[in-house]
């Protein structure tokens, strides 16, 4: 491990010299000459068919030549035609007779009086103009002026807000995040209408130039954590960011851990709730799943719906999920250990049934369980990757062959199939996908350990997992909190879900400063006492 770290460490040092965080952007001034400017753009965007130019002339007393540059598909053609080209080319419609456009004043008048777009700016730096064009803006360059107008006419195709695919729920809001960072942040702003909701922009990716926003509630989020997040995000130097996982792996506390140290969600309500707890949400452009930090292990077992349903039901659901976690992790391993090492733990009636069923089977139980688990993982992976139409065929074939034929042929015992099936169902009751994958990996290791050493093997494996979990931190927050270190007040919202009127304080773990969530004594009271609420 030490050796590995040393190798990795040296490699880091070597590469850090080569790639800089930012491209060395020198300023490249525009020229006053129309043809030079056009040539400069054409040269930069040589062999880029998606870059479009439109040359035209503003037909005043002294005709002024002009051109616009934009990216096909990233801009709104209607807006370019109506609000940029039309207004500028037909300047005489808007402007009074007394105003005369000349090369000297054209730009200012166009900007101030003609272009009726909400988002405009000017710059004389060619490199900045190129960046702006690539972001979907349209650049207007006039003959004779060394500054150009940037018009915000971003548009193009994007999908509509839909229901969350990966985190569906019965009750609660039904909207989900999209790929566009602006839409996503607006979904949050719709829910949290306070100026204390801050969002700071970053740009990462040398080639992708991906927009990134760090959102938090000032006065509620822990300042130290906010600084830490900003510092870690600012440190990122990578050529591309195509998904929030790039960010996740670059800002994690631990180099190697199979447990997720950040959380994703595609539900705006969940992101908003995290912000209100004092956590930080990192939006990444072109990703429908923002990253939530810091997290605890327990928070991976919580679903947004817990808070929308009856509190007793919410609590029971959480307990159920906790059991599902344990089953998903342990059931096959315990089965293997009990059948091969600790038969005395099984009730007599069960052991005789099982022994009868296992007679004449070719494989020891550990290999049998591993085999079915493996087959199930294959099915699952095939089901995810295949087109939907074929996916169904896979499940039919898999279910029939594994479930029926293997048992009928005497290859595996029905009990192993049942165990694996229950385990599979349980593992999908874990709301967080990344946590589910971690549990799956550990399940295989525990099955092998149970096959070798029985219960001792399982306990050994669990203790190693516990050491690892205890040593993990997510942005400084111990992963196992509020269980270890114990915080009794925060337990209110971990295993159980107390009613809303009892959640008077924000979790101590994340929130700092303004920790009061609501006025106390708002619990439902009997009507005759109703007037006495203070």
Partner 1 sequence: MPGITAERAKQSAWIATMFASLAGFISLWLVGTLGLRFPRHTLPQYGEILLGKTLGKIVGGAYVLYFLVVNILVIREFSDFLTITLMPETPGVIFNAIIVLIGAYAASKGIEVIARMAQFVLPLFLFPLVLILGMVTPNMELGKLQPFLEGGIAPVIWGSVVPASWYGEIVVLVILLPMVNKPREIKRKGALALLAALFFLTSDTLITLTIFGPDLIGDLLFPFWYLVKYIEFGNYVQRMESLFVLVWMIGIVIKVAFFYYLVCFTTSQVLSLKGYKPILYIAALVQILGATFLFKNTPQLSEFLSHNWPPFGLLFEVGLPLILLAVAVIRRKHARG
* CB 419 to partner 1: min, Å: 19
For residues 355, 356, 361, 365, the Cα torsion angle rounded to the nearest 10 degrees is -20
* CB 457 to partner 1: min, Å: 8
* CB 319 to partner 1: min, Å: 15
Q: What residues pair up with 148 in beta bridges, in sequence order?
A: 123
- Name which of 264, 279, 290, 297 is nearest 225 in CA terms: 279
Please give the angle made by the CA atoms of 289, 291 and 292, to the nearest 5 degrees. 130
At 121, list the tokens: 């700016």
Q: Is residue 109 within 8 Å of 101, Cβ to Cβ?
A: yes
**CB-nearer residue toward partner 1: 346 or 421:** 346
For the packed helices 433-453 and 365-385, what is the interaxial angle rounded to 10 degrees?
Answer: 160
- Name which of 344, 350, 337 is nearest 415 in CA terms: 350
* CB 431 to partner 1: min, Å: 22
* CB 229 to partner 1: min, Å: 23
Task: Return d(Cα 194, Cα 280) in angstroms, integer.
Answer: 16
Task: Give residue for tokens 């960072």.
Answer: 181
Q: Phi, psi at residue 198, to the nearest 5°?
A: -105, 150
Instruction: Write the burial class of residue 311 (CB in 10 Å: 0-12 exposed, 13-18 middle, 19+ buried).
Output: middle
**CB-nearer residue toward partner 1: 237 or 487:** 487
* CB 337 to partner 1: min, Å: 9
At 201, list the tokens: 């922009």
Task: Give residue for tokens 């290999």.
Answer: 367
* CB 220 to partner 1: min, Å: 26
* CB 475 to partner 1: min, Å: 17
**CB-nearer residue toward partner 1: 393 or 467:** 467
CB count within 10 Å of CB 8 equals 12
Q: What residues pair up with 70 in beta bridges, in sequence order?
A: 52
3-state secondary structure 292-334: EECCCCHHHHCCHHHHCCCHHHHHHHHHHHHHHHHHHHHHHHH
* CB 470 to partner 1: min, Å: 4
Task: Return d(Cα 506, Cα 249) in angstroms, integer.
Answer: 28
**CB-nearer residue toward partner 1: 46 or 344:** 344
**CB-nearer residue toward partner 1: 344 or 528:** 344
**CB-nearer residue toward partner 1: 412 or 480:** 480
**CB-nearer residue toward partner 1: 162 or 345:** 345
Question: Which spans of this chain sit near partner 1 (rule: CB under 8 A)?
Answer: 341-342, 344-345, 347, 453-456, 458-460, 462-464, 466-467, 470-471, 478, 480, 483-486
The sign of the dihedral angle between the CA atoms of 408, 409, 413, 415 is negative
* CB 296 to partner 1: min, Å: 12
**CB-nearer residue toward partner 1: 234 or 455:** 455
**CB-nearer residue toward partner 1: 268 or 482:** 482
At 37, list the tokens: 């400017």
**CB-nearer residue toward partner 1: 471 or 518:** 471
Task: Return d(Cα 137, Cα 156) in angstroms, integer.
Answer: 11
* CB 510 to partner 1: min, Å: 18
**CB-nearer residue toward partner 1: 351 or 357:** 351
Q: What residues pair up with 477 in beta bridges, in sequence order?
A: 474
Q: Is residue 475 within 8 Å of 233, Cβ to Cβ?
A: no
**CB-nearer residue toward partner 1: 401 or 486:** 486
Task: Return d(Cα 454, Cα 220) in angstroms, integer.
Answer: 48
* CB 473 to partner 1: min, Å: 10
Instruction: Write the burial class of residue 12 (CB in 10 Å: 0-12 exposed, 13-18 middle, 19+ buried).
Output: exposed
3-state secondary structure 465-483: HHHHHHHCEECCEECCCCC
Give kind and range of the element (H or E) at residue 67.
strand 64-71
* CB 40 to partner 1: min, Å: 58
| Number of residues that this document lists for the chain | 534
**CB-nearer residue toward partner 1: 174 or 342:** 342
């Amino acid at each position: 491990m030490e050796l590995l770290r040393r190798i990795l460490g040296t490699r880091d040092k070597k590469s850090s010299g080569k790639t800089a965080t930012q491209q060395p952007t020198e300023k490249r001034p525009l020229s006053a000459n129309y043809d030079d400017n056009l040539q400069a753009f054409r040269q930069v965007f040589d062999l880029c068919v998606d870059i479009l130019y439109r040359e035209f002339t503003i037909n005043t007393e002294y005709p002024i030549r002009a051109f616009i540059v934009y990216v096909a598909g990233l801009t709104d053609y209607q807006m370019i035609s109506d609000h940029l080209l039309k207004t500028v080319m037909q300047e005489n419609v808007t402007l009074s007779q007394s105003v005369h456009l000349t090369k000297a004043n054209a730009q200012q008048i166009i900007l101030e009086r003609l272009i009726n777009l909400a988002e405009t700016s000017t710059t004389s730096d060619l490199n900045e103009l190129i960046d702006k064009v690539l972001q979907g803006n349209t650049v207007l360059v006039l003959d004779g002026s060394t500054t150009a107008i940037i018009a915000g006419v971003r548009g193009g195709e994007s999908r509509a807000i839909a229901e969350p695919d990966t985190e569906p729920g019965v009750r609660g809001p039904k909207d989900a995040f999209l790929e566009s960072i602006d839409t996503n942040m607006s979904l949050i702003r719709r829910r949290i209408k306070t100026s204390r909701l801050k969002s700071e922009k970053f740009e990462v990716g040398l080639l992708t130039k991906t927009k990134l926003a760090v959102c938090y509630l000032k006065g509620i989020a822990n300042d130290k954590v906010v600084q830490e997040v900003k510092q870690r995000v600012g440190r990122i130097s990578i050529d591309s960011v195509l998904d929030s996982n790039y960010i996740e792996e670059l800002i994690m506390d631990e180099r190697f851990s199979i447990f997720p140290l950040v959380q994703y969600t595609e539900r705006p309500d969940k992101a908003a709730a995290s912000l209100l707890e004092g956590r930080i949400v990192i939006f990444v452009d072109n990703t429908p799943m923002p990253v939530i930090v810091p997290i605890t292990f327990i928070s991976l077992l919580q679903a947004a719906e817990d808070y929308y349903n009856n509190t007793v039901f919410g609590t029971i659901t959480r307990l159920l999920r906790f059991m599902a976690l344990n089953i998903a992790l342990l059931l096959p391993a315990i089965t293997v250990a009990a059948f091969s090492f600790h038969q005395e733990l099984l009730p007599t009636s069960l052991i005789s049934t099982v022994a009868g069923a296992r007679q004449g089977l070719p494989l020891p139980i550990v290999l049998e369980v591993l085999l079915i688990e493996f087959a199930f993982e294959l099915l699952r992976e095939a089901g995810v990757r295949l087109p939907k139409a074929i996916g169904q065929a896979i499940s039919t074939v898999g279910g029939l062959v594994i479930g029926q034929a293997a048992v009928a042929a005497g290859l595996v015992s029905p009990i192993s199939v049942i165990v694996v099936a229950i385990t599979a169902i349980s593992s999908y009751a874990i709301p967080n996908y990344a946590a589910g994958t971690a549990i799956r990996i550990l399940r295989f290791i525990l099955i092998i350990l149970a096959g070798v050493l029985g219960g001792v093997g399982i306990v050994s494996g669990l203790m190693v997992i516990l050491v690892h979990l205890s040593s993990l931190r997510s942005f400084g927050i111990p992963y196992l909190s509020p269980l270890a270190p114990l915080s009794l007040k925060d337990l209110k919202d971990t295993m159980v879900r107390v009613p809303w009127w009892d959640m008077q304080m924000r979790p101590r773990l994340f929130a700092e400063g303004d920790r009061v969530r609501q006025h106390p004594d708002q619990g439902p009271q009997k009507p005759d006492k109703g007037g006495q609420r203070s």
